[in-house]
């Protein structure tokens, strides 16, 4: 598939979601699993870039959570609205931390296991 044929949605998924790069190393015979695992080890070099992107997302979400929480306390008029925004960004932060932990684990696992 050429780059000019990729939809914007697929491009965004590939930019932010690191797990599209990898193959299932638990399916097939021994040679297929070994080839998939070797493929995954070769693709692990891209994971630090994805980690940096997700750290940025988490920091941004945490800053926005704090900002909207402060607005909810200071402004009495739209308190519920800003509380909901703060809660939404807190959920984004929580999901981002999960992606960071999973990506970090995969990177360390693929870097340490050579078989």
pTM: 0.83
pLDDT in tens, 79-115: 899 999 999 999 999 999 999 999 999 999 999 876 6
Q: What is the pLDDT of residue 6?
A: 81
Please choose, from the candidates 12, 98, 15, the residue with its C-alpha nearest in 3D space to the C-alpha of residue 58. Answer: 98
Longest Cα pair distance anywhere in the chain, in angstroms? 64
- Read off the pLDDT of residues 26-67 as tens digits, 9 standing for 90 and up: 989 999 999 999 999 999 999 999 999 999 999 999 999 999
Confidence grade of residue 3 (pLDDT, cut at 50, 70, 90): low
Domain boundaries, the chain: 3-112
Read off φ and ψ for residue 27, nearest 5 degrees: -115, 140
């Amino acid at each position: 598939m050429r780059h000019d044929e990729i939809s914007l949605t697929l491009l965004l998924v590939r930019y932010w979601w690191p797990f599209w790069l990898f193959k299932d190393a638990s399916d097939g015979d021994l040679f297929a699993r070994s080839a998939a695992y070797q493929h995954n080890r070769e693709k692990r070099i891209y994971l630090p870039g994805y980690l940096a992107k997700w750290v940025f997302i988490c920091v941004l979400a945490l800053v926005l959570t704090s900002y909207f929480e402060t607005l909810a306390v200071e402004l009495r008029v739209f308190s519920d609205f800003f509380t909901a925004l703060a809660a939404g960004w807190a959920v984004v932060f929580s999901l981002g931390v999960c992606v960071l932990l999973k990506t970090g684990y995969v990177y360390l696992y693929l870097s340490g296991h050579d078989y």
